[in-house]
Chain A
Amino acid sequence: MTPSDHILLALLIPSIGAVLIALTGQQRNLRETVTLVTAILLFANVLQILPEVLAGGRPALAGFPVTFGLEVAFRIEPLGMLFGLIASGLWIVNSFYSIGYMRGNKEPRQTQFYVAFAVAIAAALGIAFSANLFTLFIFYELLTLSTYPLVAHHGDAKARQGGRVYLLILLTTSIVFLIPAILWTLSLAGTLDFTPGGILAGRADALTTGLLLALFAFGVGKAALMPVHKWLPNAMVAPTPVSALLHAVAVVKAGVFTVLKVSIYIFGPEHLQETGASEWLVYLATFSLLAASLIAVSKDNLKARLAYSTVSQLAYIVLGAAIATPLALLGAAMHILMHAFGKITLFFVAGAIHTATHKTEISQLNGIGRVMPFTMAAFFIGALSIIGVPILGGVWSKLYIALGGLSGGYGFVVPALMISSLLNVAYLMPIVVRAFFRAPDLADDHGYGATGSDVMPDEQPSRIAEAPWFCVVPLCFTAVACIVLFFLPDAIEMLLSGMLEVPR
């Protein structure tokens, strides 16, 4: 099979999977098997494309022209390869986790859940592999629409409200800002193809570039740049596997991935630097990452805190895209990967806690580390990776972004990133401290048994009562991956090195 066949398969496998899941909905074991097999096949298929990309190839799938200026086509460059690998790879882990979570919490409408999930993954891969802005936009909208049923999954008033905000903000920004941005790009450059070196150099002056960049930055609502970030906390009403894979990895990363793609292949890093048109975005992204961290500190609900943490971490990537020096872009691309593993671990933990004890607030978590040691240890590792502490993967991307900021003449980025890291410590570490070093509250045995209030603080339960293994194994796996990633910066750099090459 040629690489272009693999591209087609990458879109077909999850789509066919979705149909099969719908058909096998009555027998849940069969249905879950279909999900897992689909996920594994998909990842194996995406892996097949990797050697070609590493060798410097740019596998493409010729699409078809739609109408004036619009064409559906696919072409894989390193950044898309990376995003495709992350989305398809973590889907396997997340599927195992989903089984544990959905069954453990006796969630309704599980078939609908798995179908929508498969469609969302297909859309994410479509985004990763698209060769031009129009193709990307189609899948971008498909991703929004396919995740809406997941966000509103519970169907109660709160879920409906969350789903409404989700859809309203994401669709509105894409229609009001992104479509005009695409149109404008087309009228300036005459093409929408992602081209190394950009297509706008020499065709747009500084002001036009700045305005266009603003349309893109806010049009891609999925990047959750302040002030269009409100949909993300609202999306937390979804079941946790959705928050984990989609609202820490696939959906939000699709957003920042689009911003990066636009910065590198539409504007062109050199054009952005020469015109200084992205300077305002550097300031806004810096503000966004600090402000979101501050808000995160104030949240008691675990998932809400993680959501604001995500808003903040996404701003790192937008920051890298705005600085647009090679190092900053490399750091931003890497951060897509590093943050994916760190944040999915944290969400997995939040869901495991909910499954085992039905607790959602941080203030309820005193001493929970004694009951759920594996889970909370994984949380600790994930948190350190988010903070960016060595021997965890998260350190590299932050380092590169900071260095990129220096080389781009934005010295203030370095202290800003340091403050942000401290804020990360401030909102993540207290959870670990509570879990391991505080005594459980009186009358609280974390759902461990029916012993009730006669358990004295000094007689804390020592027995382990973890969430189902389907939940715990995936989160341990991603936590270990955070450590492994620390030792792999060379490999990642090797993959991404071709990202900025401009053929002469």
Chain B
Amino acid sequence: MLAAHLPALQVVIPLMAAPLCAIFRRGYLGWLIAVAANWFAFAAAILLVFRVLEEGTISYAMGGWVPPIGIEYRVDIINVFVLLVVTGVGSVIIPFARAGTAARFNNTDQAWFYTMYLLALTGLLGVTITGDAFNIFVFLEISSLASYVMIAMGRDRRALTAAYQYLIMGTIGATFIVLGVGMLWAMTGTLNLADLAERIPEVSDTRPVLVALAFLTVGISLKLALFPLHLWLPNAYAYAPAVASAFLAGTATKVAIYLFVRIFYTVFGGSGFFSTTPLPEMFLVLSVVAMFAASVVAVFQDDVKRMFAYSSVAQIGFITLGISFVTEAGLTAAMVHLFNHAIMKAGIFLMLGAIMFRLASVQIDDLAGIGRKMPITMAGIVILGLGLLGVPGTSGFISKWWLVLAALENGHWWLVALIVLASLVTMLYVGRVVEVAYFREPSAKVAVMREAPASMLIPAYVLVLATIYFGLETNWSVGLAEQAAAKLMSAVY
């Protein structure tokens, strides 16, 4: 009986757990609740994957109200893949949180932190699983508001302005999305995504639908930090607490990317419609610019967290590039990279969190010689960095391989060259960190440092091992991504 309600529980459990943390106001208890809720959500996502693979799309009527009157949760191979990424990354990150938050916050603040974390998780899962357009907006706001709070809890006072900046940009994005949804409702009379998918083709030439499309494009692009709408991201990631940076980098933008393909590939009538708009070309150009511009900016960052935040903007460019091909191989590449990048980038931010925990700084000059004092942490950063670079044997290579295959399929030889060159720029900023960490004499501050605690290293290393594992064994990552891509291209919702 419980299994039948799995789609609801996926969202409800973290949602219920959040106020529990707030009620008890005990740091340790809050952490336990967060871990339990997150692990439950992960287990639910895994079960859902198996069920979807077996039975196909699952439609769940919330509260027994039959759609389109009630809210429908609709789980298919596309969003179950994203659910898996979000809950999986969260499940690894949250055990890491204990040492850092306990050292910095009092009991009440710790409890608030876990509350916000769980709300952000709830929101992201809700956006992913729901089949209702307005519900998407609601959950998006839940996750965004919780994220603003988490970012503002950063160590640095600049976290406050970063959170504010994100709040302004995020609110604009959310407003655009709700405007778009409103217009679609006005034209079709429904908010259910499946119904929308049926009715939009009849009215797809009308002006309000095109305006809705424009609002949705800009709104979602803001959320997924597509260049040049990425301005909120670097500061937010740089000044947020490590757990928040890792969580947001691994999941928030990924869910926005999911939302994008969901809206354009399935709701708006599939790849056929997408390629009639100028969007593929636009996305292609913006993605390439992101891959280069953001990487080059990353090279010149002195704050290492900011460096990898810019790297995220560049890596999102690789994902949107795959989407812009409008082919099955391109979407596979995008979905695989969504999966792989979530793991790698979350891992890097956790490692940086471990350094922050010991050193209270991630300025590149402060990291001189840290490779000798925190060898395990730095080795992890090197491996994950190689993953970003796309070295074979890491999951990053698999992403790039599929992306290049997809580019070749479209006959874009020049794009292969650009992808390769962009990877080279990645090498520059990863190399900069490695060189400072290993080949400079330790500063006085670094010289007295110890390795990070095991409670931080173990979760972070789960992500490192996953990066290597998914570089060699791709049945899960590529296998699921291929199915999701096939479903997206078939334009059946």
Contact = CB atoms under 8 A, between A and B. Distances in A.
A175 B420 contact: yes
Contact of A176 (B401, B420, B472): B420
Nearest to A160: B439
Contacts of A141: 391-393
Interface in B379-432: 386, 390-393, 398, 401-402, 404-405, 408, 416-417, 420-421, 423-424, 427, 431
Given A171-B427, A183-B416, A155 B392 contact: no
A160 B408 CA distance: 37
A67 B402 contact: yes
A152 B440 CA distance: 11
B281 interface: no
Given A155-B439, A160-B435, A183-B416, A66 B404 contact: no
A363 interface: no
Instruction: Kindly name the residue among A68, A160, A172, A183 whose own CB sees the greatest number of chain B CB atoms within 10 A.
Output: A68
A73 to B, nearest CB: 12
A67 B393 contact: no
A25 to B, nearest CB: 11
A175 B416 contact: no
A345 B435 CA distance: 32
A20 B23 CA distance: 50
A23 to B, nearest CB: 13
A67 B416 contact: no
B464 to A, nearest CB: 15
Interface residues of B, number: 29
A134 interface: yes
B421 A68 contact: no
Nearest to B474: A67
Contacts of B401: 67-68, 70
B416 A66 contact: no
B441 to A, nearest CB: 8
A179 B419 CA distance: 11
Interface string A37-57: 000000000000000000000
Given A67-B401, A141-B392, A175-B423, A152 B472 contact: no
Instruction: Kindly name the residue among A159, A179, A183 whose own CB sees the greatest number of chain B CB atoms within 10 A.
Output: A179
B438 interface: yes
Contacts of A64: 472-473
Interface in A55-78: 64, 66-68, 70, 72
Contact of B408 (A134, A159, A172, A187): A187
A142 interface: yes
B478 interface: yes
A93 B423 CA distance: 39
A142 B386 CA distance: 11
Contacts of B478: 67-68
A21 to B, nearest CB: 14
A160 B431 CA distance: 11
Interface in B349-394: 386, 390-393
B235 to A, nearest CB: 30
A180 B420 CA distance: 9
Given A138-B393, A145-B386, A149-B438, A68 B431 contact: no
A283 B386 CA distance: 37
Interface string A126-150: 0000000010011001100100010
A255 to B, nearest CB: 17
A180 B423 CA distance: 13
Instruction: Kindly name the residue among B401, B441, B473 whose own CB sees the greatest number of chain A CB atoms within 10 A.
Output: B401
Given A179-B420, A183-B405, A183-B416, A145 B391 contact: yes
A481 interface: no
A167 interface: yes
B472 A66 contact: yes
Contacts of A145: 386, 391
Interface string A150-174: 0010010001100110011001100
A183 B420 contact: no
A171 B402 CA distance: 20
Instruction: Kindly name the residue among A72, A138, A160 whose own CB sees the greatest number of chain B CB atoms within 10 A.
Output: A138
Contact of B472 (A72, A155, A167): A72
A134 B404 contact: no
B405 A68 contact: yes
A179 B391 CA distance: 10
Contacts of A180: 416-417, 420
A176 B424 contact: yes
Interface string B435-476: 100111100000000000000000000000000000111100
Contacts of B473: 64, 66
Contact of A183 (B390, B404, B427, B440): B404
A138 B401 CA distance: 13
A66 B398 contact: yes
Contacts of B390: 175
Contacts of B427: 167-168, 171-172, 175
Given A155-B441, A164-B431, 9 more contacts: A68-B405, A141-B391, A152-B438, A160-B435, A163-B439, A179-B404, A179-B420, A180-B420, A187-B408
Sorted nearest first, the 3 A-B pairs with minimum C-beta distance are: A138-B392, A67-B474, A155-B439
30 contacts: A64-B473, A66-B471, A66-B473, A66-B474, A67-B398, A67-B401, A67-B402, A68-B401, A68-B405, A138-B392, A138-B393, A142-B393, A152-B438, A152-B439, A155-B439, A155-B440, A160-B435, A160-B439, A163-B439, A164-B431, A167-B427, A167-B431, A171-B424, A175-B424, A176-B417, A176-B420, A179-B420, A180-B416, A180-B420, A187-B408
